[in-house]
Amino acid sequence: MQITEDWLLSIQDENGLTRGQQMLLDIWKGRQYFVGYGFLPDQVAVFLEGCKGYRKMPEYVKYLNE
């Protein structure tokens, strides 16, 4: 999937990209995830779309860090 301004806006909520979305884009595009910097694998793009607005850590995940 090509990274476009419209796509980036569509995966954000009113607070912008989540920290996880930013980190994943950094990994795949080396901090160059702005418009015009190429493509992402479709699976990664779909995952990023699914993360829109997801800012809470589930309780069962919190206990894994202890």
pLDDT of res. 51: 86
Q: How many CB atoms lie within 10 A of CB 59?
A: 7
Token pair for 65: 């860090």
Tell me how long the chain is: 66
Q: What is the pLDDT of residues 19-66, one digit of tens each?
A: 888 888 888 876 555 667 678 889 999 999 988 878 776 777 667 766
Q: Tell me the C-alpha distance between 30 and 13, whole Å.
A: 23
Token pair for 4: 């476009």
Q: Tell me the C-alpha distance between 63 and 52, whole Å.
A: 24
Hey, what amino acid is at 17? L
pLDDT of res. 20: 87
pLDDT of res. 62: 67
Q: Can you tell me whether residue 39 is helix, strand or coil?
A: strand
pLDDT of res. 25: 87
Instruction: Provide the whole-model pTM.
Output: 0.69
